[in-house]
Structure 1
Amino acid sequence: MNSPAPSPAKPTTTRRFPVREVILFGALLVAILGVYAVMGAAYSTRMLVEASCYAILALGLTIQWGYAGQFNAGVMGFVAIGGFSAMLFSVPVNDAFWGTELPGELGRVLLYLIGSVLLVIGATRLHRFGVPKKLRTVIAVVLAVVLYLVVLSMLRGVTGEIQSRAGFIGGLGLPAWTGWIVGGALAGSIGYFIGHICLGLRSDYLAIATLGIAEIIKAFLKNSDWLTRGTATVSPLPWPTPGPSELGFTLARALYLSVTAALIAVIFFLLHRAYHAPWGRMIRAIRDNEVSAAAMGKDINRRRLEIFVLGCILMGIGGGALASFNSLFDPQGYLPLNHTFLVLVMVILGGPGNNLGTLFGAVAVYIIWLMSEPLALFLMNMAVYVGEGVFGWEPPGNLDSRALQARVFVIGLLITLVLRFAPQGLLPEKIKHHD
């Protein structure tokens, strides 16, 4: 009698204890507590709120770069769009503008603009009437130039009246969170336009394109005094929660932190589910081997566009939350160093494609960014004290500005060390391998 064949062994899955995660987040907690002990509760809570806003920006970048391999060098532009939307929707209504005929005149110019765009688009569709391609192109270009000059002339007349009579158009007086939502939608719409044109380019050209678009957005917001007051800034921006005048600095900031923390929790949960869903596996397959994914019938450009727009939406939401918390909209204050490079460092340190690592990198890098200045100033003062007392050196001037410049040095040193010793980040993306 033959003995039954042995059943195939079942694959065993072993779950390792997250030692690295516990150590890193434990060290981060110790650093946060140290900042609270040294700098006080009000300052430290403000630091955590700003870090949480940057964490939303970093999550938007990590799904673009980490999930799909799209290098977005124009984060600053989408952050500025979110801040503009938060300002536009939350600032009180300006009766000097809305109580006059100026809104109607501005609306008429916008209708002319929409009609001009439709006419140019229609000119590009003249092939349906048998118009040759070269002639069609000439007609579209000439029509676009003429209509642009006409609409620009009309817009300058109206905006000049707005600036002279009302200052700027003001806001809509709605809750701040409505501006966050619309900011995300507006950033996503601009991201769709950019992605529809540029996602067919290689990664380096995509980086150049996004960088250029970010500078265009900043220049537009800075020079549109009728819309944003330009360099004059708009303040104060209302909070979605009771402000410091009602609850005090520490409690008000703690309440704001609870809102941003809840927002991060929702975003993290949705991204975690999407990453482990078939959609997430498809996105990573396109990133790792585009040819194989296309051979399996996947729509490469459509999926790339989806992930790019999703990342831009998160950047717009984070930019709105950051502008509302700072209670200031200053178009000139959006800098590539602060709002693009710093977010990139956060993602690199934490680990592209790892949502948990991105959150760690956002908080850790922002703490280093803020605390490097007072720490450098302390070390410089100690060096001056020793130099004067022991060697009789003459103390140098402008220690405060020198300490502020130490931020850039510390961040540069940090990114160099990470790229040398942990190129995948401190918490790399976990890729499951199936035998």
Structure 2
Amino acid sequence: MDTKRADTVATPRRFPLREVILFAAVLVAVLGVYAAMGPAYSTRMLVEAACYAILALGLTIQWGYAGQFNAGVMGFVALGGFCAMLFSFPVNPDFWESELPGELGLALFYMVAAVLVVVGATRLDRLGVPKKLRTVIAIVLGVVLYLVVVNAFRGVTDQIESRAGFIGGLGLPVGVGWIVGGALAGGVGYFIGRVCLGLRSDYLAIATLGIAEIIKAFFKNSDWLTRGTATVSPLPWPVPGPAEVGFTLARALYFSVTAVMIAVIFFLLSRAYHAPWGRMIRAIRDNEISAAAMGKDINKRRLEIFVLGCILMGIGGAALASFNSMFDPQGYLPLNHTFLVLVMVILGGPGNNLGTIFGAVAVYIIWIMSGPLALFLMELVVTFGEGAFGWEAPTNMDSRALQARVFVIGLLITLVLRYAPKGLLPEKVRHHG
């Protein structure tokens, strides 16, 4: 008799009937859109749904894996889109062939030096300076150096806007911008996490929401960097564009790139989820006190998962901006880039990667098709009313139909929270004994 016995009580494998039914329903919906709207429209919808799936995977590991409620997804999406623009957009010779890059670099040097001086001032107590005096010195230096740096920046940025419009891009391959977008979002997430992860979940949500609005406001008002409300377009694609191979084929190629990205991310997250690291993250989520009693570094693990989620949001935001071929700071809205992603995770199931992908595709199909379906129904009612009762057709039916999307998504989230609070594909936790 074999003396080796499994320590794990294996759960009998079952046929994934629910998963098959739900994904079959999504496939039927996609085919319906294809038949009704055509291949170009349906492939565009699939690409955007795939980009949103990457965003949703970033949120589901924060919220589902670690219980961190990030209400500032929009900010990290904007950071990714900015990097996609900055690194892939063609070089602006009016800027680079002048003395402006040197002046801008000098202003950036002043900023870095000011930050280092203020940080050094906060550590004067190590030299024997009383803490109250140290605080006063740091505050005074911070205010004075802030005014100096802002004045230096204002002079340079005004020159950039008047002589070159904006600094332009770097003309590098699109993939470089996507990678840097993820890294920048992760870096910003690291600094946010160092400050905010000690807060309770509700305060964390408020803090991340405010930070997202700050990021949006910075891009919107930095005409020298992003052209502000004037937008930057067209952004290049990582595959041949519509002008070269046609809309349908170009979008299909773009979808293949995003599909490969989702497959790689899904594989890595699944391996991490079932690894000891993933079990430790879930232990912290379920009972932080017990995890700390076992010697786990709670703050470090929570920071890791928060940064990882932000990286995925940055990559997804970069892919979405490149596909839209435009960077528009005003186009980043909490409804579209935070609340919609949250609905995707809730519908699919927080903590379930497969459920999150299903939720992203299903919710985006509902979101994008609610407008055309509402317009179709409104036109039917108006036609019937004109013939039967002599009604006058209302104006702005197109804009009114678009508002139906908000109603449909609100109704959807209400039904899901009422009848499937853990999502249609809830997280499956293996029990060990």
What is the TM-score normalised by the length of structure 1? Answer: 0.97
Alignment of 1:310-349 (within 5 A): 310-349=308-347
Map 1:246-325; keep pairs closer than 5 Å: 246-325=244-323
Equivalent residue number for residue 239 of structure 1: 237
C-alpha displacement at 1:12, in angstroms?
A: 5.7
Q: State the partner residue of 1:183.
A: 181
Report if aligned partners of 2:228, 2:329 keep a CA contact under 8 Å in 1: yes
1:142 to 2:150 alignment: no
Contact 2:11 2:430 in 1 (8 A): no
Structure-2 separation of matches of 1:256 and 1:371: 21
Could you list the runs of 5+ residues in structure 1 that have no partner in the other structure? Answer: none
Is 1:353 aligned to 2:370, yes or no? no
Partners in 2 of 1:13 and 1:405 — Cα distance? 46
Aligned to 2:199, the other structure's residue is in SS state coil
Residue 400 of structure 1: CA displacement? Answer: 1.1
What amino acid is the match of 1:35? V
Partner amino acid, structure 1, of 2:105: G
Q: Distance in 2 between matches of 1:289 and 1:224?
A: 44
- CA-to-partner distance for each residue in 1:412-434, whole Å, 9 max, x for gaps? 00000000000000000001123
* Residue identity opposite 2:317 in structure 1: G
Letter in 1 for 2:337: H
Aligned to 1:193: 191
Instruction: Indicate yes or no: 2:233 matched with 1:216.
Output: no
- State whether structure 2 residue 28 is matched by structure 1 residue 65: no
Query: 1:200/1:8 Cα in 2 relative to 1: closer, same or farther (>3 Å)?
Result: closer
Q: CA deviation at 1:116?
A: 0.5
The AA in structure 1 aligned to 2:373 is L
CA distance in 1 between partners of 2:163 and 2:33 (Å): 48
Distance 1:187 1:368 in 2: 28
- Residue 110 of structure 1 is matched in structure 2 by 108
Structure-2 change in CA distance of 1:200 and 1:12 (3 Å): closer
Alignment deviations for residues 234-262 of structure 1 (CA, whole Å, 9 cap, x no partner) = 00000011101111000000000000000
Task: Write the deviation string for residues 75-121 of structure 1: whole angstroms up to 9, x where unpaired.
Answer: 00000000000000001111110011110010011011101000000
* Percent of aligned positions that are identical: 82
Q: Counterpart amino acid of 1:147?
A: L
What is the letter of the counterpart of residue 79 of structure 2? I
Separation of aligned partners in 1, 2:188 and 2:6: 53
Q: Which amino acid aligns with 2:230?
A: A
Q: Which runs of 4+ in 1 moved over 6 A?
A: 7-10
2:78·2:329 contact (CA, 8 Å) conserved in 1? Answer: yes
Correspondent of 1:122 among 116, 120, 127: 120
| CA displacement at 1:387 relative to structure 2 | 1.5
- CA distance in 1: counterparts of 2:137 and 2:116, whole angstroms: 14
Q: Distance in 2 between matches of 1:125 and 1:42?
A: 60
Residue 8 (structure 1) shift: 9.6
Find the counterpart in structure 2 of residue 151 from structure 1.
149
Q: 387-396 or 15-24, which moves further after superposition?
A: 387-396
Deviation at 1:278, TM superposition (A): 0.1
Looking at structure 2, the residues matched to 237 and 104 of structure 1 have their Cα atoms a distance apart, in angstroms, of 26
After superposition, the C-alpha distances for 1:306-344 in whole angstroms (9 at most, x for unaligned) are: 000000000000000000000000001100000000000
Residue by residue, what CA displacement relative to the aligned partner does 1:43-91 show, whole Å, maximum 9, x if unpaired? 1000000000000000000000000000000000000000000000001
State yes or no: 1:202 paired with 2:204: no
Distance in 2 (CA, whole Å) between partners of 1:187 and 1:256 is: 23
Q: SS of the residue aligned with 2:403? A: helix
Structure 1 CA distance for aligned equivalents of residues 432 and 136 of structure 2: 57
1-structure distance, mates of 2:339, 2:126: 47
Separation in 1, partners of 2:155, 2:183: 30
Unmatched 5+ residue regions in structure 2? none
Following the alignment from structure 2 to structure 1, what is the Cα–Cα distance between the partners of residues 269 and 283?
17
Please point out which of 37, 44, 47 is paired with 1:46: 44
State whether residues 347 and 423 of structure 2, in contact with CA within 8 Å, keep that contact through their aligned partners in structure 1: yes
Distance in 1, Cα, partners of 2:26 & 2:6: 42
149-158 vs 377-386, greater mean Cα deviation: 377-386
AA paired with 1:131?
A: V
* Equivalent position amino acid for 2:73 in 1: V
Quote the residue 2:15 is aligned against: 17
The residue number in structure 1 matching 2:406 is 408
- 2:269 and 2:5 map into 1 onto residues whose CA distance is 36
Q: CA deviation at 1:392?
A: 2.7
Shift of 1:14: 1.3
When normalised by structure 2's length, the TM-score is 0.98
The 3-state SS of whatever aligns with 1:259 is: helix
Q: What are the Cα deviations for residues 348-399 of structure 1, in whole angstroms up to 9, with x where unaligned?
A: 0000000000000000000000100000011111111112222333332221
The separation in 2 between residues aligned to 1:398 and 1:369, in whole angstroms, is: 20
> For 1:159-185, what per-residue CA distance to the aligned partner results, in whole angstroms no more than 9, with x for missing partners?
001011100000000011100000000
2:85·2:327 contact (CA, 8 Å) conserved in 1?
yes
Q: Could you tell me how far apart the structure 1 residues matched to 2:293 and 2:10 are?
A: 32
Is the alpha carbon distance of 1:391 and 1:86 closer, same or farther for their aligned partners in structure 2, counting shifts above 3 Å?
A: same
Separation in 1, partners of 2:392, 2:115: 66
Report the alpha carbon displacement of residue 128 of structure 1 after superposing the two structures with TM: 1.2
User: What's the C-alpha RMSD, in Å, of the aligned pairs?
Assistant: 1.5
Q: Which amino acid aligns with 1:366?
A: Y
Where 1:121 maps in the other structure, the secondary structure is helix
Describe the superposition over 1:180-226 as per-residue Cα deviations: whole angstroms up to 9, x where unpaired: 00000000000000000000000000001000000000000000000
